Amino acid sequence: MIEVLSETAREQLLEPLYKNGWAHDGSRDAITKEFKFKDFAEAFGWMTQAALWSEKWDHHPEWSNVYNRVTVTLTTHDAGGLSSLDAKLARKFDSL
């Protein structure tokens, strides 16, 4: 079973993400980021790549798309908060 990140793990895994534009969602234990692209086609192409990685790792984001922006929220519902899977997926999304 996936566990919620400890305070030590949060510092190690989440701090680099915060420096790269991710933010803690104060209303719950989640991280969020808005990705901006040239146009809708580029945003949708990124979402397609992100969806394939999400499916491969069986960890799926909450997201929305409006034209050239994709807003992503990551949390692990089964764990009741942020887990190492969220950090892993965030790093992958940043690299796409």
Please give the mean pLDDT across all residues of the chain.
97
Q: In Å, how far from its chain's centre is CA 29?
A: 12
| Domain spans of the chain, in order of start | 28-95
With a cut of 90, say whether residue 26 has pLDDT above it: no
DSSP-derived letter for residue 6 is P
pTM score? 0.95
Fold of the domain built from segment(s) 28-95 = Gyrase A; domain 2 (3.30.1360)
Name 70's bridge partners.
Answer: 35, 65
CB atoms within 10 A of CB 91: 14
| 14/16 Cα distance (integer angstroms) | 6
Mean pLDDT for 81-90 is 98
Q: Under a CB-based contact definition with an 8 Å cutoff, are residues 49 and 94 in contact?
A: no
Q: Under a CB-based contact definition with an 8 Å cutoff, are residues 31 and 23 in contact?
A: yes
